[in-house]
Amino acid sequence: MVDYHTHTRLCKHAVGVMEDYIESAIGKGFSEIGVSCHNPMPDGYDLEHRMTMDEFNQIYKPGVRNLQQKYSGAITIKFGLEADYYPGTESFVKNFIAEHDFDYVIGSVHYLGAWPGTELIPAPIFERVVVNLRYEEYFERVRQLAESGICDIIAHFDLVKKNGIRPGNESNGVDDTMYRALRAIKENNLCMEINTSGLRKKVAEIYPAEDILERAAEYGIPLTTGSDAHKPQDVGSDFEYAYSLIDKYANGKISVFSQRNREEVDREVLVDNNKT
């Protein structure tokens, strides 16, 4: 099994060091884990959820390299990153990514509007029409992310539902913008993650929802898996379910990355490799 979406205490809102996550993955029989802490951003953007440039250079990057050596033979460790997409910061983020040899970059939309950011749709509930507009704005932003060239994997595609606040049926605009975002993912040859953290949030539903995965499968969008663990024991959380979705919507093929090259591997092969 492969878990490509994990955080550490460098992200300020997660607990445990990288090695705790590696040990957890080994304990659960994983063949491959990727670390994907939030990227440094310019001008003090959202400092409470990410590492600084110094932390990246002094702790994160050398830490991954050390653990890759230490655990070679036990588990494959990939050097990943979760990169925020926020208009105005694209060139900073692109230049940063180009300077380092990541295995993969997960792209995310976490905030709309002015920052320091607020939740995508904070409780209490807005007027229904505002909720619809917020969803449209969110999926439009995800489309821009897909077209930005920043990432290899689109994170938690329908994160906007996180607090369980849903759009009304009266608007086709939400579906239209969502389908446009999916098409942009396909046209830009990107992969989408099945992210199990939604099951641990108020919405209590996987990202993306199954009806979206069904559409993604029609488009032929490749999939990978991530727990978005913010504590070591969450590595691989609900992955039996995630893998049943891989079987259903990606013909049992999971995308793995090295040096930002994607390969779609039969997950049965991963299981066999792990046994030998």
Q: Which residues bind Zn ion (CB under 5 A)?
A: 82, 108, 155, 228
User: Which CB, 198 or 222, lies closer to Zn ion?
Assistant: 198
User: Which CB, 49 or 267, lies closer to Zn ion?
Assistant: 49
Strand partners, 264: 255
User: Which CB, 77 or 253, lies closer to Zn ion?
Assistant: 77
**Least separation, in Å, of the C-beta of 179 and Zn ion?**
22
Listing DSSP states for 211-223 in one string gives: HHHHHHHHHT--E
**Least separation, in Å, of the C-beta of 5 and Zn ion?**
6
User: Which CB, 242 or 253, lies closer to Zn ion?
Assistant: 242
Nearest-angstrom CA–CA distance, 99 and 8: 22
- CA-based Rg of the chain, rounded to a whole angstrom? 18
Strand partners, 128: none
**Least separation, in Å, of the C-beta of 199 and Zn ion?**
14
Residue nearest to Zn ion (CB): 108
**Least separation, in Å, of the C-beta of 58 and Zn ion?**
22
**Least separation, in Å, of the C-beta of 266 and Zn ion?**
26
Spell out where the chain has E strands. Answer: 2-3, 32-35, 76-84, 104-108, 153-154, 191-195, 223-226, 253-258, 261-266
Lookup: tokens for 187: 């046209």
Handedness of CA 43, 107, 101, 78 (dihedral sign): positive
Q: Report in angstroms the alpha-carbon separations of 152 from 91, 94, 108, 168.
A: 16, 12, 11, 31
User: Which CB, 24 or 108, lies closer to Zn ion?
Assistant: 108
User: Which CB, 3 or 140, lies closer to Zn ion?
Assistant: 3
**Least separation, in Å, of the C-beta of 108 and Zn ion?**
4
